[in-house]
Structure 1
Amino acid sequence: MTLLPVYTLWQREIVRFLRQKNRVFGAVGQPILFWLVFGSSFSASFRPQSFSNGASYLEYFYPGILMMIVLFTAIFSSFSIIEDRTEGFLQAAWASPAARWQLVFGKVLGGATLALLQAMVFLCFIPFLHLSLTLPSVIFIILVLFLTAIGLAAFGFALAWRMDSVQGFHAIMMLILLPMWFLSGAFFPSQGLPLVLEWILKLNPLTYALSLLRHMLYEAQNPMLSALPSFEISLGVTLGFSILTLIWAWKLSQKWTS
């Protein structure tokens, strides 16, 4: 068994992204601007009781922006599936001797790598916040981001598989992605929410990935952590989501005949 098909498709996704200079600039600059503008605007008026002394809304919002970067980059990397089908590349790849799982994983891995690299750029802001992290904590954060990116890229692959146009995929994704992000605890804590919203947060896989980030970014005695799912549950749900979406994407690719 060779991993050459996986590497080839992974490399193609990276090269395609780097050749689009405007996309590179927007991918790095937009989250930073979003974080600074919204974080600064809400800092004076929004301070949950669970915040530790001296913490600002910028610090609360920080892991939410990390999750936003991973979410949107991983999902929208699936645009290439629709473009490849239109250009005929997808048909050629699927007619090759490579196994379907290799082709699926190559596409997913490429999207996940792009999401991780962009999130790692944003990690450079940690020294400017009141966050004391150790090297093992940073490594674990990177692993969580990558695991989440794998799951989201596979989710995007599955949804893009039967789409006929980039415009249609974009419209449907915006209906899904924004609620997923807003209702994950990225903008506000879960305490005091209506019962319906609390259940939506509990059913949202991003809630648990974001919980893992907060467990690693904040000190253990931070009262905010008591309102989050436990570390073990968050890790299990995040891992399960990534595995299930990969299986879903692979199963869909098995049914492709056109």
Structure 2
Amino acid sequence: MTSPTPFAGTPTFRATTRDATLALARRDLLRFVRQPARLAGTLGQPLLFWLVLGAGLSPSFDAGTFAGGGMTYTEYFYPGMLAMMVLFASVFSTITLIEDRDQGFLQGVMAAPVSRLSIVMGKVLGGTMVAMIQASILLLAIPFMGFHIGPGSVVMIVVTLAVLSVACTGFGFLVAWSMESTAGFHGVMMLVMMPLWFLSSALFPLESAPAILKGVMYVNPFTWAMILLRAPFYGGPLECFADTRYLTALGITAGVVLLILWGGVRRVKRREKGLPLARG
């Protein structure tokens, strides 16, 4: 028996895009609140990476090679850890799409009188809110990391993390829509997303990378997102927006996010009549 949708009322009822989006996002948020193990898992792995790599690799790196000079590797890796946390939170949030399909909920949503845009935006908004809740916890460590940043830079960091969350959740949506099992989803996401993160200057500076890796990193959209995320830690809003490299990264990241959201809507609309929902 198909589960009722949160939008269904009378046969003539048609939920607005906003109502449907908020209903789906709220459902994912409530699901997260009721599963504290997800919070422990998505926070624990980045923290473990941060502590182990920070302690193990700090003696191997010359602090003078990092931006600003005198920076420890633990400080350098902190923005990369934030990006990693957003990545894992997004992966865990979009996997619920497969669970919703298995439980029949997604079929009910597809049959409801709602726009396909609301389905994409609802899942992306829900995943983004979940990721931002977890990112906010890690952001509390900024004063203890030696960073001296103003309120404007904090706002820029939060906004950048939100944009990165939208991109990761949207990409996860695209992958999950066609997957029939959670195991397959995990395999594909780890195969694609982890290399993107490793080659994004999260672990080592772009400037010190070998030539062959530097070329790959320049075409990696995660690299430009890391430029956006790292810049406010070392400069205020005026300095960032006066930097051509920062503006380039902003344009590329915004373009990637819009492309992913457009692809998600197209993917949902392309479901052919008579085919299983899992095959889009």
TM tier relative to shorter chain: over 0.9
Q: Contact 2:63–2:69 (CA<8 Å) still a contact in 1?
A: no
Q: Any conservation in 2 of the 1:76–1:156 contact (CA below 8 Å)? A: no
Q: CA–CA distance in 2 between the matches of 1:88 and 1:208?
A: 38
Paired residues, number: 252
Aligned to 1:26: 41
CA distance 1:55–1:169, shift in 2 (3 Å): same
1:240 to 244, 255, 268: 255
2:231 is matched with which residue?
215
Q: 1:15 pairs with 10, 30, 35, which one?
A: 30
Q: Distance in 2 between matches of 1:36 and 1:173?
A: 24
Report the Cα distance in structure 1 between the residues aligned to 2:17 and 2:87, rounded to whole angstroms. Answer: 30
Q: After TM superposition, where is structure 1 displaced by more than 6 Å over at least 4 residues in a row? A: none
Equivalent residue in structure 2 for 1:92, among 86, 108, 111: 108
Relative to structure 1, is the Cα distance of residues 16 and 249 closer, same or farther in structure 2, using a 3 angstrom cutoff?
same
Deviation at 1:32, TM superposition (A): 2.1
Specify which of 130, 154, 160 is matched with residue 176 of structure 2.
160
Name the structure 2 match of 1:252. Answer: 267
Question: Separation in 2 of the partners of 1:23 and 1:90?
Answer: 22
Kindly state the Cα deviation for residue 48 of structure 1 after the two structures are TM-superposed: 5.2
Match of 1:178 in 2: 194
Instruction: Give the alignment partner of residue 155 of structure 2, picking from 139, 153, 166.
Output: 139
Percentage of pairs with the same residue: 41
- How far apart are the structure 2 equivalents of 1:157 and 1:135? 33
> Deviation digits for residues 203-235 of structure 1, max 9, x if unmatched?
111101110111111248xxxx9xx98110111
CA RMSD of aligned residues (A): 1.8
1:230 maps to which of 228, 245, 249: 245
CA–CA separation in structure 1 for the residues paired with 2:71 and 2:212:
29
Deviations 1:99-152 (A, max 9, x none): 000111000111111111111111111101221111011011101110111111
CA contact (8 A) 1:48 1:189 kept: no
For 2:225 and 2:145, locate their aligned partners in 1 and report how far apart those are by CA, in whole Å: 21
Q: CA deviation at 1:27?
A: 2.2
**Matches of 1:209 and 1:77 in 2, distance apart?**
20
Alpha-carbon distance in structure 2 between the residues aligned to 1:10 and 1:60? 33
Aligned-partner Cα distance in 2 for 1:219–1:14: 33
1:9–1:106 contact (8 Å) kept in structure 2: yes
1:186 aligned counterpart, secondary structure:
coil
Deviation of the 1:246 alpha carbon: 0.2
Q: Which moved more, 1:54-63 or 1:25-34?
A: 25-34
**Separation in structure 1 between the aligned mates of residue 244 and residue 220 of structure 2, nearest angstrom:** 12
Structure 2 residues not aligned, in runs of 5+? 1-15
TM-score normalised to the size of structure 2?
0.85
What is the Cα deviation at residue 30 of structure 1? 2.9
Cα offset for 1:21? Answer: 2.0
Larger-gyration structure (1/2): 2
Other structure's SS at 1:102 match: helix
* Contact 2:63/2:70 (<8 A) preserved: no
Task: Name the aligned partner's letter for residue 98 of structure 2.
Answer: I
Counterpart Cα distance in 1 of 2:18 and 2:135: 26
Cα distance, 1:111–1:53 mapped onto 2, change above 3 Å = same
Cα distance change of structure 1 residues 229 and 25 upon mapping to structure 2, 3 Å threshold: farther
For residue 75 of structure 1, report the CA deviation from its aligned partner.
Answer: 2.8
Report the Cα offset of residue 28 of structure 1. 2.5
